[in-house]
Chains A and B, each alone.
Chain A
Amino acid sequence: MEKIIEIKNLSYSYPDGTAALDNVNLSVFMGDCVGILGPNGAGKTTLLLHLNGILNGNSSVKIGGLTVDEKNLSVIRSKVGLVFQDPDDQLFMPTVFDDVAFGPVNMDMGTGEVQKRVDGALDSVDMKEYKERISHHLSYGEKKRISLATVLSMNPEILVLDEPTGNLDPKHRKEFIKFLSATDITKIIASHDIDMVKSICNKVAIMDKGSIAAFDTKENIFKNKDLLKLHSLY
């Protein structure tokens, strides 16, 4: 199998000196769905921000064999679709259409292709009739789904999701999980939603205090109750 993400000895401190990541190693294969669990402040979001070069620790992240650095940035960002936790950060254009088209337009696609991508992406999250709607008039669940469409329109090879089911009501959460398990793109999902990780991921990484405490198949991780308890997950 092909390694699609390779992180070696990644460490990162925020400008104010707070150490956020400490010697992280992680390899993800094509088609994997990796759940990242861990208490608040464990460094999950910081790790995700390294996957498309928003943050750059010590250039030890490789996506599809390409090192994440300044010169590969545009290629990497078209391969890695990162969805932020707060949909009000993800949706910044006036209409849903403009938002979903933002990525494709930046990838220099022609008008026809952009239209096609937007329709396809909105269709896959079941929001096609929302195209002309205005983002701030939508409900939280609708915003969450459209957030996902904004990266699906870029046809990414890897989906990176920060807390995708957070704050969703049970019905929308279930729909979201169903949708995620149906797509076979490689996925990295940081979440506190253990049941969701259990149902869609095949591998689980546990993060605590900036490092990966455990990385194994879902079965092995969830069998180990002591491990879960140790990291406030049980």
Chain B
Amino acid sequence: MQHSYIDKYAGLDSFLHGLDPRAKVIVSFIFIFAVVLSNPTAYLSFALYGLALLILLAVSKVPSSFVFKKTLIVIPFVALVALSIPFMKGKDGLALFTGILIKSYLSIFCMTMLTSTTKFPRLLKAMERMKVPSIFIMIMSFMYRYLFVLIDEFHRMQRARDSRSLGRVGRWDTVKVLSNIIGVLFVRSYERAERVYLSMCSRGFNGEIKTLD
């Protein structure tokens, strides 16, 4: 199926790819904290943060179009959430709003750099060794494993719809069909979760997450 994996370029060979994943996780989090805690109008430091990320991007050999596409996806969501901020009383709302947009973009950029220079299983192993609670690691590993199964399933249903709709659908019909697909997808995921749990139980899982040291 056609979709790009989040760690599509994690197999490349560069200085950044070769670093210990733990170091990358720690540095990313420090970076994000620094970005989030800086003054919303500190445009000079934002520019410097951005420059640092661009240098990393150049070093990493990851195609910049891939990274920019990935990072832009998040902006509409952030904008939507932050939409009310410019109308707040007593503060310079517009500056705050742009500040938030820039900060979230830089943070997403940083996370994208982390995931596109580190294979996800290695990232999970690193977090495991950094004593991140195993329940979080388990949840993330399931997310990584099944996100694409879900996307594939979505594409298949979309295709099935397209092959029967003869290309003559109005916008309202599309919305109706889409909501059906999402509903069915939810039920299917629920059922799959049940089967996966049974298959875990079949191999001796009893509620306690055990890991290999």
Does A94 contact B203, Cβ atoms closer than 8 Å?
Answer: no
- Give bound CA distance, A95 to B145, whole Å: 9
Say if the beta carbon of B148 comes within 8 Å of chain A.
Answer: yes
Say if the beta carbon of B102 comes within 8 Å of chain A.
Answer: no
- Given A94-B120, A94-B124, verify A107-B204 contact (CB < 8 Å): yes
B204 touches which of A90, A106, A137 (Cβ 8 Å): A106
Chain B interface residue count, Cβ-Cβ cutoff 8 angstroms: 28
Does A77 contact B203, Cβ atoms closer than 8 Å?
Answer: yes
- Given A52-B202, A106-B204, verify A94-B212 contact (CB < 8 Å): no
Residues of chain B within 8 A (CB-CB) of A107 are 204
Say if the beta carbon of B210 comes within 8 Å of chain A.
Answer: yes
| Nearest-neighbor residue (CB-CB) of B143 within chain A | A94
Residues of chain B within 8 A (CB-CB) of A93 are 141, 145
Size class of the A contact interface (CB-based, 8 Å): 35 or more
Residues of chain B within 8 A (CB-CB) of A86 are 195
Residues of chain B within 8 A (CB-CB) of A77 are 201-204
Q: Please, could you name 28 A-B residue pairs with CB atoms under 8 Å apart, sorted by A?
A: A52-B202, A54-B201, A77-B202, A77-B203, A77-B204, A81-B202, A82-B199, A86-B195, A88-B146, A89-B195, A89-B198, A90-B199, A92-B142, A92-B146, A92-B199, A92-B200, A94-B120, A94-B124, A94-B145, A95-B121, A98-B121, A106-B206, A107-B204, A108-B210, A134-B119, A136-B149, A137-B5, A154-B204
**Chain B: minimal CB distance from A173 (Å):** 22
- Give bound CA distance, A134 to B213, whole Å: 20
Chain A residues with CB under 8 Å of chain B are 49, 52, 54, 74, 77-78, 80-82, 84, 86, 88-95, 98, 101-103, 105-108, 111, 114, 134-137, 150-151, 154
Does B144 contact A114, Cβ atoms closer than 8 Å?
Answer: no
**Chain B: minimal CB distance from A66 (Å):** 16
- Given A86-B195, A101-B212, A111-B212, verify A106-B203 contact (CB < 8 Å): yes
**Chain A: minimal CB distance from B161 (Å):** 22
Does B203 contact A103, Cβ atoms closer than 8 Å?
Answer: yes
Does B145 contact A106, Cβ atoms closer than 8 Å?
Answer: no
- Given A54-B198, A89-B192, A92-B200, verify A114-B205 contact (CB < 8 Å): no
Does B200 contact A102, Cβ atoms closer than 8 Å?
Answer: yes
Does B204 contact A103, Cβ atoms closer than 8 Å?
Answer: yes
- Give bound CA distance, A151 to B203, whole Å: 7
A49 touches which of B146, B196, B198, B212 (Cβ 8 Å): B198
- Give bound CA distance, A84 to B200, whole Å: 11
Does B145 contact A105, Cβ atoms closer than 8 Å?
Answer: no
Say if the beta carbon of B163 comes within 8 Å of chain A.
Answer: no
- Give bound CA distance, A211 to B22, whole Å: 56
**Chain A: minimal CB distance from B40 (Å):** 38
Say if the beta carbon of B84 comes within 8 Å of chain A.
Answer: no
- Give bound CA distance, A55 to B120, whole Å: 35
- Given A94-B145, A136-B149, A150-B203, verify A106-B195 contact (CB < 8 Å): no
